[in-house]
Amino acid sequence: MTDVLAFVGIALTLVFTVVNGFHDASNAVALPVRFNALTPRVALWLGAVFNFAGALVVGLVLHRMITFEIPVPLDTVGTVVLLCALVTAVGWDLLTWWWRMPSSSTAAFGGAAVGALLGARAVDLHQNQLPLGPYFSWHILVPMLVAPVIAFGLAFVAVVPLVHLLQHETPGRVNFRAGVVQATGAAAIHFGHGIQHARRTLWIMLVLLLTVGAGFSRESIPVWLPVVVGLCLAFGTLLGGWRIAYTLSSRVVSLDPLRGAVAQTVSGALLFVGGFLSPIPLSSSQTSTAAILGAGSAQRFRTVYHATLLRVIATWLVTVPVCGLVSAVLFLAVSPLVPAPAA
């Protein structure tokens, strides 16, 4: 039974990866496409290539940053926990895409995994104590709260000297340079997104493979595994979740090409550098949205669409509790079919 569930879990993990690429494509392509720095087709192909490259880098270079923080048991219970978390995270990604809301799949999966583990504890199928404090602090609260604040602040501050530096340039030249920067920033965002999501995906797949006794570890990841993950991310990116692109480019705050370039630079730098230097997962959705809001707020006549902004923030705040509750209910629903672990 465990082997079958692990196989289903691996397939669902790849589905989650495709959906994540589809859901998060807008984080990088929304502004370059709006300001005609890239055509929609070129933007998506650029994203597919750099998402694939980011996933490949994780498997070949950054495999030590694939951290094992969620105490999922390596048995049938742990496999069911991951299945419930994956189903919940996929559903949340699709729902927020339909709502046109940028949301964090990192927070969705993390909250769902903890919720399923708590469900397992409630019916005595998981006896280990769950270290909620460190996990929530470093893997949910930091990406959800600290990273967006930093992105907002950096984008807000960067606009002021840049405007003074370019005040005597012609609008055509400023817009052209801004377009180049936006395209470069899009590549950096996609690359960082590939790193961030590949870490999480490879961790899930390694746990599922370990439950069936496969001889893999973080130090001996076969090359085909990150290649498959990268291809799924690339395929999802090519599908393009344009509903969220409209929210980011037009419904959060009014932007001009210069401020769009600042937002792309800040979010791209944070995701790119963070992917190489920090094991803490960063949400490309929250980082990009906060940078866009910060850059757009640094102008004399700023236009923030408060109704949309409140909906975005509300979506971020409810992601963890809603996904945790749904995943816990799913686990409790199937728990009568889950065999108790051996003593």
Q: Locate tokens 């998981």: which residue?
A: 126
Q: How far is CA 205 from CA 62, 109, 145, 164, in A?
A: 16, 14, 28, 50
Q: Locate tokens 């769950």: which residue?
A: 130
Domain count, the chain: 1
Position 7 in a domain = yes
Q: Locate tokens 């997104």: which residue?
A: 193
If we measure between CA atoms, which residue out of 166, 179, 168, 197 comes closest to residue 265? 179
Is 48 in contact with 274 (CB distance < 8 Å)? no
Position 28 in a domain = yes
| Interior angle at CA 28, CA 166 and CA 228, nearest 5 | 145
In angstroms, the CA 321 to CA 118 distance is 12
What lies within 8 Å, CB to CB, of 298 at 6+ separation is 155, 156, 157, 159, 160, 259
CA 324 to chain CA centroid, nearest Å: 17
Report phi then psi at 305, rounded to 5.
Answer: -85, 90
Supply the pLDDT for residue 131.
60
Q: How far is CA 253 from CA 63, 74, 147, 296, 314, in A?
A: 38, 46, 19, 6, 17
How many other C-beta atoms can be found within 10 angstroms of the C-beta atom of residue 246?
13
Tokens for 11?
């397939």
Position 293 in a domain = yes
The pTM (predicted TM-score) of the whole model is 0.93
Is 194 in contact with 335 (CB distance < 8 Å)? no
In angstroms, the CA 257 to CA 263 distance is 10
Q: What is the pLDDT along the chain (343 residues), one digit of tens a residue?
A: 778 888 899 999 999 999 999 999 999 999 999 999 999 999 999 999 999 999 999 888 877 667 656 778 878 888 999 999 999 999 999 999 999 999 999 889 988 998 998 898 888 877 666 565 566 666 677 777 888 999 999 999 999 899 888 888 888 899 999 999 999 999 999 999 999 899 889 889 888 888 877 666 666 778 888 999 999 999 999 998 788 999 998 889 989 999 999 999 999 999 988 888 877 788 899 999 999 999 998 887 768 898 999 999 999 999 999 999 999 999 999 988 888 766 5
Position 342 in a domain = no
Position 144 in a domain = yes
Supply the pLDDT for residue 163.
86
Sign, CA dihedral 53-59-65-69, equals positive
Position 303 in a domain = yes
Supply the pLDDT for residue 145.
80
Report phi then psi at 150, rounded to 5.
Answer: -65, -45
Position 338 in a domain = no
In angstroms, the CA 331 to CA 62 distance is 33
- Structure confidence by residue, pLDDT tens digits, 212-249: 776 666 667 788 889 999 999 999 999 987 889 999 98
- Structure confidence by residue, pLDDT tens digits, 270-300: 998 888 887 778 889 999 999 999 999 888 7
Supply the pLDDT for residue 86.
96
Per the rule left: phi > 0, alpha: psi between -120 and 50, beta: everything else, 330 is alpha
| Interior angle at CA 156, CA 150 and CA 157, nearest 5 | 90
Supply the pLDDT for residue 207.
86
Position 343 in a domain = no
Alpha helices in the chain (DSSP H): 2-34, 40-60, 76-98, 105-122, 132-136, 147-165, 171-211, 224-239, 242-246, 257-277, 284-297, 306-334
Q: Locate tokens 């973080």: which residue?
A: 218
Residue 29 is which amino acid?
Answer: V
Domain region containing 265: 2-126+133-332
